[in-house]
Each structure stands twice: as C-alpha cells, then as structure tokens.
Amino acid sequence: MSTVPPAVAAALLAQPHPVCAYVYDLDALRRTAAAVRAALPTGALLLYAVKANGDPKVVAALARHVDGLEVASGGELSLAASAGAAEVVFGGPAKTDAELAAAVTAGALVHVESPHELRRLALMAGDTGVRVALRVNRAGAGLAGTHRMTGVPTPFGIDEVALAEAVTLARDLPGLRLVGFHLHAVSNNLDAVAHAAYVADALDWSVATARRLGVPLEYVNVGGGFGVDYTGDKRFDLDALRAGLAAVQVPAGVTLAFEPGRFLVASAGWYAAEVLDLKRTHGRWFAVLRGGTHHFRLPAAWGYSHPAAIVPVDGWSYPFPRPEVRHTAVDVAGELCTPRDVLARDLPVDRLRVGDLLVFANAGGYGWDISHHDFLRHPYPQVVVIGG
Ligand SMILES: *Cc1c(COP(=O)(O)O)cnc(C)c1O
C-alpha cells in the first residue's frame, strides 16, 4: 500500500468532517516542471496543457514554472490571462467566433484545425498578424498510448492529404502569419524512448513539409502525452527522454514546443475521502466514501482500480462501537446511487475503520476537472493547496 506524504496527511486531518478534499502541492508542481524542462532540448518551449487541471492556483503556479499555457476553450483562455502566462497557445477543434476573437485580443498563437476555422480567424484577425500553426492529422506517426489523435480518423486537425490546400489558404488570407505545425498525437504514452523518436520524426516531417509547401518554419509543437502509470510502477522515464532528444537537431530559428498536461500535474495532487460506512453484501466488503467518481472519475472511466492509502483518524464520537475490518480486501465505493461509482476493487487493508481516510495519489491531472461534479448534487470537495 502506498504512503501519504506527511504534509498531505496533516492538511487532510485539518479538514472538517466528513473529509472530502483535493490536495495540491505547489512545491511538487515546481519540481516536476523543473525535471521536465531539464529533459527537453535547450531552447525548447515548455507549455502546460491547462485542461489537465484548471485550478486557478495550480495554473498560476505552473505559469511561473513553464514558458506558457496551452488552452482549449474561452474559459481556459481567460484563466491563462489571469494566471499571467507569458505565452498562450489556443487549440481545439470547436472554437467559436467569440473564442477566436478573444484569442486575437490576447495575442495567442492559434492552433488552427480546419480551413473553415482559418477563414473565420482571418475575419477576426484584422491586421494583427495573428500567429497560426496548422494542426495536422498525419498519415502515420502513431504512438502507443491511451488515446490516439493522429494516424487514425479523429475530429482533430487537418488531414495530411488536405494540408497543401490549407497552407495556401493560410498564406492567402490577410491578417494571419503561418508559423508552423501542431502535431499532438497521443495521451498517456509511457514509453519515453518511443516518445523521443516520435519527436525526432515530427521535427523531420515538419522541416520537410515546410520546405515542400514553402512555409517559413518557426514553430513545431509536438503536443503532450507524457504518461503516468496509475496502477503499476512503470514511469515515463525523463532520463530516457533526455537521452533520446539529445540526438534531435532543432534547426536554427525553429522553436520546438511541448505541451504536456497530465505529467506536469498528476503527481502533485491527492484526492481523499472519509469512510462513511463499511458493509458486506454477497460476500464482499465495501467501504462507502464521502466522495466518489463524480470528483475523481478517471478509475471508472478507464476501468481500473486506483491505488489508495489509508490515513487513520483517531477519535470516535458515537455512543456505539466503531465499525472496522481487518486483514481483508474491500471495494471502495462512492456516494452516488450507481454501482459504477467505484474507485478501487479488492483493495487490501490491514485495518480500515469508519472515519478513516482513503487517499488516492497521482490525482492531480484529469481528476476533478474531468469529473461530472453535479450528479446527485453532493457538496464539492475542499481544495487544499500546500507548498509554494
Ligand atoms: C490534452 C492535450 C494535451 C495534453 O495532453 P496530456 O496527455 O495531458 O499530456 C496537449 N495538447 C493538446 C492539443 C491536447 O488536447
């Protein structure tokens, strides 16, 4: 069973009962950002993909530790502006006119996803010379990972076979300055050696394609996708990434941009919930939490058991014995009225009591932000920020 850092446990024990909280550690964010930067080639642009965790304090902290923010909606765009991001890049296949106008006003670099979007952006751009990178769904260039975005049919980017036409359009439209390509390909890839090879290939492809289509190449964004192994002990090996990227030649005048989300935030977040009840039905033990998948959806969405640690809570105020289980395995269920509200199955416990806390590490990315908060209208978790 994993352990909980003392500062996280202390922060949780100071919360009102029943405890239900996310804890974000700003020092951990800083350390991870520094480690990622150290693995990237000198001069690379490190952006944070805000959708992984849009908590304003997390975003503001990361805005100080990375070179800029990648946003995918008008909401994230205004968050990035209030976080004081030095650089903002704006992507996503469903931008509205209002969002495009806001991006122009904010001076963002826009990752354009279709010819129609190019035309709409040009209408908004006036004579600002808004920087544009074309997002490309390449013919090949798959990478293993949980979600593939390119090399397969997806709503993301411009099909490589239609790229020449889009480049011509971008060049002919007034108010736009075509600077390069955006090639985000995958999420949650755990193989850093393969990732470095993907980056090298993306850069080669970009240089060759820019030459072929007459694009003055200034910017190649290879996206995010650095993975986190939630259930095992594999890790995205930054040393291997650095070694792999050391061989990559970034041409003079080209900025190589990375925009990880998950990896920058996952390890800086914990989700914790108090055990409200323990019960046994049809031979299985259940721990029922003040919390659940409406706060932390990832295990249910991906169909895995998220490892959990116990923070014991002493003190018992009821005038009857405290329920507990010993040396057994429990299924960890939430407070929603659906049998799918399960965060972990067969969690081995030495001792677990009503009133103890279950704490889920690596919950800082795609945790709260990706969950369906209002299902059943339970109160939201506390958000506790430590460090910084
Ligand atoms: C989600 C996303 C990212 C971040 O992906 P991670 O897997 O969290 O690193 C980066 N770029 C784009 C375009 C995205 O949609």
Residues 218 and 255 in one domain: yes
Of 260, 285, 310, which marks where a domain is finished?
260
pLDDT digit string (tens) for 251-303?
999 999 999 999 999 999 999 999 999 999 999 999 999 999 999 999 999 99
Look up residue 365 and give its two tokens: 């990315």
pLDDT digit string (tens) for 77-100?
999 999 999 999 999 999 999 999
Residues 223 and 338 in one domain: no
Do the Cβ atoms of 57 and 36 come closer than 8 Å?
no
Alpha carbons 333 and 346: distance in angstroms, whole number: 11
Q: Which residue from 187, 190, 195, 262 has its CB within 8 A of the most atoms of ligand 1, so it is best to mutate? A: 187
The pTM for the full model equals 0.96
Active site residue 20: no
Do the Cβ atoms of 230 and 271 come closer than 8 Å?
no
Neighbours of 351 (CB within 10 A): 12
**How many domains are contained in the chain?**
2
49 Cβ neighbours under 8 A, 6+ residues apart: 69, 70, 72, 224, 259, 260, 261
Secondary structure element (H or E) that encloses residue 387, with its range = none
What is the extent of the structural domain holding 167? 87-260
Q: What is the pLDDT of residue 293?
A: 98
Cα–ligand 1 centroid distance for 51 (angstroms): 8
Residues 224 and 372 in one domain: no
Of 260, 278, 313, which marks where a domain is finished?
260
Q: Whose CA is nearest to atom 13 of ligand 1?
A: 184
Cα–ligand 1 centroid distance for 286 (angstroms): 35
Which ranges of 126-191 would DSSP assign to H, the alpha helix?
Answer: 163-172
pLDDT digit string (tens) for 298-346?
999 999 999 999 999 999 999 999 999 999 999 999 999 999 999 999 9
Strands of the chain (E only): list them: 20-25, 45-49, 68-71, 88-90, 109-112, 130-137, 147-148, 158-159, 176-182, 186-187, 219-221, 255-258, 269-281, 284-289, 309-311, 324-333, 342-353, 357-360, 382-386
Alpha carbons 201 and 48: distance in angstroms, whole number: 22
Residues 118 and 234 in one domain: yes
Handedness of CA 99, 95, 263, 10 (dihedral sign): positive
